[in-house]
Amino acid sequence: MSPTARKWRSSTVPTASPWRWWNIPGAIEEIGLEFFLEGDERTEAIARKVIAGERLSVDDGLHLYSNSPLHLLGALADHAKRRSCGDDIYFCVNRHVNYSDYCVNECRFCAYFKKPGSPEGRRLSVNQVIEMLDSGYREFHIVGGCDPEPGLYYYLEMLSRMKKAYPETRRQCFTAVEIEHISRMSGLSVDECLDMMIAAGLEAIPGGGAEIFDAEVRREICPNKISGDAYLDVHRKAHEKGIKSNCTMLYGHIEEPVHRIEHLAKLRSLQDETGGFLAFIPLSFHPENTMYADLPGPGGIDDLRTIAISRLMLDNIPHIKAFWIMLGLKLAQVALHFGADDLDGTVVEEHITHRAGANTPVGIARNEIIRLIRGAGLVPVERDTLYKIFWRGDEG
Phi, psi of 284 (to 5 degrees): -80, 120
State the Cα–Cα distance between residues 130 and 169, nearest whole angstrom: 13
109 binds ligand V47 (CB under 6 A): yes
43 binds ligand V47 (CB under 6 A): no
286 binds ligand V47 (CB under 6 A): yes
Phi, psi of 362 (to 5 degrees): -85, -15
Are 353 and 325 in contact by the 8 Å Cβ rule? The answer is yes
Phi, psi of 220 (to 5 degrees): -85, -45
Size of interface with ligand SF4, in residues (CB under 6 A): 12
Number of CB atoms found within 10 A of residue 285's CB: 23
List the one residue from 356, 378, 379, 381 that touches ligand V47 (CB under 6 A): 356
Binders of ligand SF4 among residues 213 to 232 (CB under 6 A) are 222, 225
Binders of ligand SF4 among residues 64 to 103 (CB under 6 A) are 103
C-alpha distance from residue 69 to each of 207, 228, 304, 327, 361 (Å): 29, 31, 12, 21, 31
78 binds ligand V47 (CB under 6 A): no
Could you give the string, one character per residue 103-122, with x where binding to ligand SF4 holds by CB under 6 A and - elsewhere? x-xxx--x-xx---------
Return the amino acid letter for 257. Answer: P
259 binds ligand V47 (CB under 6 A): no
Please, which residue, 77 or 325, has the CB nearer to ligand SF4?
325
CB 108 → ligand SF4: shortest distance, Å?
9
CB 135 → ligand V47: shortest distance, Å?
21
145 binds ligand SF4 (CB under 6 A): yes
CB 289 → ligand V47: shortest distance, Å?
8
Return the amino acid letter for 126. Answer: V
Q: What burial letters (b/e) apply to 308-335, b meaning 16+ CB within 10 Å?
A: bbbbbbbbebbbbbbbbbbbbbebbbbb
The residues binding ligand V47 (CB under 6 A) are 109-111, 175, 206-209, 211, 246, 248, 250, 281, 283, 285-286, 290, 323, 326, 344, 352-353, 356
The residues binding ligand SF4 (CB under 6 A) are 103, 105-107, 110, 112-113, 145-146, 177, 222, 225
